[in-house]
Amino acid sequence: MRRWRTYGFVAAFLAVPLVLYTVFVISPYVQAFQLSLTSWNGYSSVVAYVGLDNFGRLFGDEVFWQALRNHGIMLLTLPVVTIAIALFLAFLLNLGGGPSGDGMRGLWGSRFYRVVFFFPQVLAVAVVGVLFQAIYRPDEVGVINGVLARLGVEPVGWLIEPGLALWSVIAVMVWQGVGFYVVLFSAGMAAIPKDYFEAAALDGAGRVRLFFSITLPLLRDTVQVGWIYLGIAALDGFALIQVLAGDKGEPDGATTILPVTIYNTAFSYQKVGYASAMGVALFFLTVTFAVLTLRTTRRERVEL
Amino acid sequence: MTHPGEITRRGLLRRIGMTAFVAGPGAGLLSACATAGTGGEPAPAPSITASADARNPFGVDAKKPLEVVIFSGGYGDAYARELHQELYKKAFPGVTIEHNATQQIGTQLRPRFVAGDVPDVLNNSGPESMDLAALAAEGHLADLAPLFDAPSIDDPAKRVRDTITPAVIDNAKIDGKDLVLNYTVSHRALWYNAALFASMGWAVPTTWAEFTALGEQAKKEGIALFAYPGQKGPYYQLWNLLYTAAKIGGNQVIIDIDNLAEGAWNAEPVKQAVTAWVEIQAKYGEKSYFGLDHTQTQVKHLRNEVLFYPVGSWIENEMAKDKPDDFEYAIAPIPDVTAADAMPYGAIQVGVGENFVVGAKGENPQGGLEYLRIMLSKEGARGFTERTKNLTVVNGAAEGLDLPAGLMSAARAQDSAGANIITEARFEGWYKELFDYGTAQTNAVMAGRITPERFCADLQEKADAIKDDASVPKQTRSR
């Protein structure tokens, strides 16, 4: 009886979020799986089932593969670069000043920098997109090209050269993401007991040695979480690319990504069934990535 | 007419079907989804006939409310709210009108159409406009033939059909039926600053040799001969390439492309047109425009950094706020590319646009038709031109109006073009995927990343793929 009461109490609290989650998250997923087996056009009252045809078509779809290649590049670069920069900055902000009085301290002015680094995170993605359009603008009016023009360098088409466009987009994602991970890693570093650093410093370890022998191993879990977040961000990028580079993967498909392709296929070309199949593929890609990352980076926990 | 609570034959069949469906285990969840109605053919739209009563040919019931949805883009929605709806209220005193203005036509209305709750008049426009062929296949669009055959408001002796540009009837067809009203007329070719030409003593080029010679002169002044926006507006240049091809080879070039005819993109006029423009871009253009959008490019045009810009007559109103006083918009036909172009110099594209449809399964399709008839009256059309500085399809409705210089120049250009009117490319609406691919390839070929031959071959391949794709409904045109 008592047990029933406790569980009833818990269940009553869980019911509302569970219903909301089912209606707004689970059911659209189920529906996307269902639609991926149809040739529905978004209007028709007759929904024809076509089996796995849509998935068969995916294999021969050049745009789909191009999007996958772009996601691959983003998956390889975005997490590594963002985490490396964020770790470096977080270390400088928290421990870079060396030992002092009751523990480690950051570089001079680190409180100010911490706020500044977080600024980009506060901006909405659409704002960031518009901002960087002005920065990347391909004539002398552009921020970067204006500086280059003064130095006598020809303007660079940051977003219109097929070899450059994706890197320009990734740079913006890194710029926007770093601040959040600096804060995340700072919190992780604050949790590391100060005695460790003191002991190591007494033994004569320099800042580099402190970082690689103490900070990094003890931050492993936090970095792993950051890696998964960034990996998922690399599989998304919808809003930024839509605003910054346009919705057709310009130039020449260099910035084509799956979410934008799905949107166009469903709402511009009225192939809701086929777009759902792409969405299902993206779902499995994301899940596979998360599971793989967790598996490969798993190891014995370091007890503090 | 269905009344609330009354069960129609179709509704009854659906209910029986649904009961069987819901009875299945776990099916209850699915019945709430967009895909709930998995049974039954779409019901045919009820037909409306026009009587000879010039005051109320469709038998509108003044007690029934009317719902109007307007795309509030470049034209705004004041013309509908302050003009057409007031005229409708005057014709049917006491009637209520529900006015909705939005820029998200698709997001707002797609679910409503699927659910069967449709507006009476819909201005289907903008980046989220809906696929009218798909809506037509579901019987959602009312037949407009009774509207075109109804007596005109201004002269009951004339049918509406005889008071408007014939292109409206050509462009109204989906699957052979008149379902779409195109309301505006636009003139597309190359737009330039007539005041600058006058002050420099330059003449509008009529041949390609004169065009390139002017390019050399403009270069000395630091002006690009030609530019189009590579971001958001590369379709302006795709139009320009197609219209140039039609000028060289006749309208059949575009008709073949629309009909997905074999080898249509590989036709010689298409190659010649693309080659000619790629050369202009390489010699007299500037690559930074590939990264600028239409507004940025148009502002540079206003600053006389660009001579010719491929666009339509809406440009003047679009840029009215930024236009300096010494800038005078004027239209220039595409110069002769070869000595033997199928269309003589002066040919321009005159097209109809801005789609209006009537919901066949709405509450008040009769009112919807009557609303369109009011829009096509001289008073309705004239007021639209006054408010938006754009011409309508209604003949002579703009007479006596004080039109801006650019529109006057377009009207004169149409006069001198006479019968040499370049047709519009309809695959833009029919096969959006092909059109979008075309705009991406336009940037690639104009930037010199692919050759004109490759451009034609790539588009041909895409057109063939669409032709073979059974899931894309096909349309054809004969003229």
List, in sequence order, every residue forming a beta bridge with B392; answer none if it has no partner. B184
B296: chain A residues, CB-CB within 8 Å: 137
Substitution target in B141, B231, B442, B474 with the highest count of A β-carbons within 10 Å is: B231
pLDDT digits (tens, 9 = 90+) for B431-461: 989 999 999 999 999 999 999 999 999 999 9
Decide if A41 and B41 are in contact by the 8 Å CB cutoff: no
Facing residue for A43 by CB, picked from B131, B439, B449 = B131
User: Could you tell me if residue B443 is inside a domain?
Assistant: yes
**Residue B19, pLDDT above cutoff 60:** no
List, in sequence order, every residue forming a beta bridge with B352; answer none if it has no partner. B185
Substitution target in B14, B33, B35 with the highest count of A β-carbons within 10 Å is: B35
User: Could you tell me if residue B271 is inside a domain?
Assistant: yes
User: Could you tell me if residue B147 is inside a domain?
Assistant: yes
Chain B residues contacting A, CB < 8 Å?
Answer: 29-30, 32-35, 37-42, 106, 110, 113-114, 128, 130-131, 134-135, 137-138, 140, 230-232, 286-288, 290-292, 296, 432-433, 436, 439-440, 443-444, 447, 449, 471
* C-alpha atoms less than 13 angstroms from C-alpha of B243 in its C-beta half-sphere: 28
What is the band of A46 on the pLDDT scale with cuts at 50, 70, 90? confident
Decide if A43 and B33 are in contact by the 8 Å CB cutoff: no
Mean pLDDT, chain B, rounded, equals 88
Of the listed ranges B25-39, B68-82, B107-121, the one predicted with least confidence = B25-39
What's the average model confidence in pLDDT over A6-33? 90
Closest CA to B138 of B120, B113, B119, B108: B113
Do B93 and B86 contact (CB within 8 A), yes or no?
no
Question: What pLDDT does residue B13 have?
Answer: 35
User: Does B389 share its domain with B276?
Assistant: no
**Residue A210, pLDDT above cutoff 90:** no
Number of domains composing chain B: 2
What's the average model confidence in pLDDT over A278-282? 94
Decide if A251 and B290 are in contact by the 8 Å CB cutoff: yes
List, in sequence order, every residue forming a beta bridge with B336; answer none if it has no partner. B207
Closest CA to B167 of B151, B188, B156, B181: B181
**Residue A274, pLDDT above cutoff 90:** yes
The token duo for B345 is 């110099």
Q: In chain A, whose CA is at the least distance from the CA of B106?
A: A267
How far apart, in whole angstroms, are the C-alpha atoms of residue A101 and residue B186?
77
B104: chain A residues, CB-CB within 8 Å: none
Decide if B35 and A47 are in contact by the 8 Å CB cutoff: yes
What's the average model confidence in pLDDT over A218-241? 90
B462: chain A residues, CB-CB within 8 Å: none
Substitution target in B113, B295, B445, B471 with the highest count of A β-carbons within 10 Å is: B471
User: Could you tell me if residue B20 is inside a domain?
Assistant: no
User: Could you tell me if residue B19 is inside a domain?
Assistant: no
B122: chain A residues, CB-CB within 8 Å: none
User: Does B262 share its domain with B337?
Assistant: yes
In order, the DSSP letters of B367-422 are HHHHHHHHHTSHHHHHHHHHHHS-EESBTTTTTT----HHHHHHHHHHHHHTT-EE
**Residue B45, pLDDT above cutoff 60:** no
Question: What pLDDT does residue A301 have?
Answer: 57
In chain A, the percentage of residues whose pLDDT exceeds 70 is 94
Of the listed ranges A108-112, A216-220, B73-77, B308-312, the one predicted with least confidence = A108-112
B137: chain A residues, CB-CB within 8 Å: 43-44
Distance from CA of A34 to the nearest CA of B (A): 9
The token duo for B146 is 């009774």
What's the average model confidence in pLDDT over B246-261? 97
Question: What pLDDT does residue B38 have?
Answer: 43
Of the listed ranges A98-107, A160-169, B51-60, B245-254, the one predicted with least confidence = A98-107
User: Does B304 share its domain with B227?
Assistant: yes
Closest CA to B125 of B259, B314, B253: B314
Question: What pLDDT does residue A1 have?
Answer: 62
Question: What pLDDT does residue A300 have?
Answer: 56
Q: Is the peptide bond before B335 cis (omega within 30 degrees of 0)?
A: no
Decide if A267 and B106 are in contact by the 8 Å CB cutoff: yes
Facing residue for B42 by CB, picked from A45, A47, A159 = A45
Do A269 and A40 contact (CB within 8 A), yes or no?
no
CATH code, residues A62-296: 1.10.3720.10
Q: In chain B, whose CA is at the least distance from the CA of A35?
A: B35
User: Does B329 share its domain with B373?
Assistant: no
User: Does B328 share its domain with B231?
Assistant: yes
CATH number at residue B342: 3.40.190.10
B432: chain A residues, CB-CB within 8 Å: 268-269
The token duo for A282 is 């993206």
Q: How many residue pairs bridge chain A and chain B with CB atoms within 8 Å of each other?
A: 108
Question: What pLDDT does residue B230 have?
Answer: 92
Decide if B29 and A137 are in contact by the 8 Å CB cutoff: no
User: Could you tell me if residue B32 is inside a domain?
Assistant: no
User: Does B50 share its domain with B84?
Assistant: yes
Q: In chain B, whose CA is at the least distance from the CA of A50?
A: B471
B112: chain A residues, CB-CB within 8 Å: none
Place of tokens 């045919």: B44
A274: chain B residues, CB-CB within 8 Å: 471
What's the average model confidence in pLDDT over A41-67? 89
User: Could you tell me if residue B100 is inside a domain?
Assistant: yes
Decide if A251 and B432 are in contact by the 8 Å CB cutoff: no
User: Does B429 share its domain with B291?
Assistant: yes
Facing residue for A248 by CB, picked from B34, B287, B440 = B440
Question: What pLDDT does residue B27 have?
Answer: 34
**Residue A96, pLDDT above cutoff 80:** no
Distance from CA of B432 to the nearest CA of A (A): 6
Decide if B292 and A44 are in contact by the 8 Å CB cutoff: no
Question: What pLDDT does residue B80 have?
Answer: 96
The token duo for B268 is 């010689």
Do A157 and A167 contact (CB within 8 A), yes or no?
no
Give the phi and the psi of residue B182 in degrees, each rounded to 5: -95, 130
SS (H, E, C) chain A: CHHHHHHHHHHHHHHHHHHHHHHHHHHHHHHHHHHCCECCCCCCCCCCECCCHHHHHHHCCHHHHHHHHHHHHHHHHHHHHHHHHHHHHHHHHHCCCEEECCEEECCCCHHHHHHHHHHHHHCCHHHHHHHHHHHHCCCCCCHHHHHHHHCCCCCCCCCCCCCCHHHHHHHHHHHHHHHHHHHHHHHHHHCCCHHHHHHHHHCCCCHHHHHHHHHHHHCHHHHHHHHHHHHHHHCCCHHHHHHHCCCCCCCCCCCCCHHHHHHHHHHHCCCHHHHHHHHHHHHHHHHHHHHHHHHHCCCCCCCC
User: Could you tell me if residue B40 is inside a domain?
Assistant: no
Of the listed ranges B39-53, B304-318, B372-386, the one predicted with least confidence = B39-53
Do B331 and B187 contact (CB within 8 A), yes or no?
yes
How far apart, in whole angstroms, are the C-alpha atoms of residue B369 and residue B61?
12
Q: In chain A, whose CA is at the least distance from the CA of B36?
A: A45
pLDDT digits (tens, 9 = 90+) for B170-226: 899 988 899 999 999 999 999 999 999 999 999 999 999 999 999 999 999 999 999
**Residue A181, pLDDT above cutoff 90:** yes
pLDDT digits (tens, 9 = 90+) for B325-370: 999 999 999 999 999 999 999 999 999 999 999 999 999 999 999 9
Decide if B113 and A43 are in contact by the 8 Å CB cutoff: yes
- Predicted TM-score of the model (pTM): 0.86
Do B163 and B155 contact (CB within 8 A), yes or no?
yes
**Residue A99, pLDDT above cutoff 80:** no
Decide if B134 and A271 are in contact by the 8 Å CB cutoff: no
Residue B334 is part of which domain span?
186-350+421-468
Highest averaged pLDDT of the listed ranges B8-17, B48-57, B174-183, B456-465:
B456-465
Question: What pLDDT does residue B4 have?
Answer: 37
**Residue B5, pLDDT above cutoff 50:** no
Give the phi and the psi of residue B303 in degrees, each rounded to 5: -90, 10
Instruction: Say whether B352 sits in a helix, a strand or coil.
Output: strand
List, in sequence order, every residue forming a beta bridge with A104; answer none if it has no partner. A99
The ipTM is 0.84
What's the average model confidence in pLDDT over B223-239? 93
Residue B263 CB neighbour total at 10 angstroms: 12
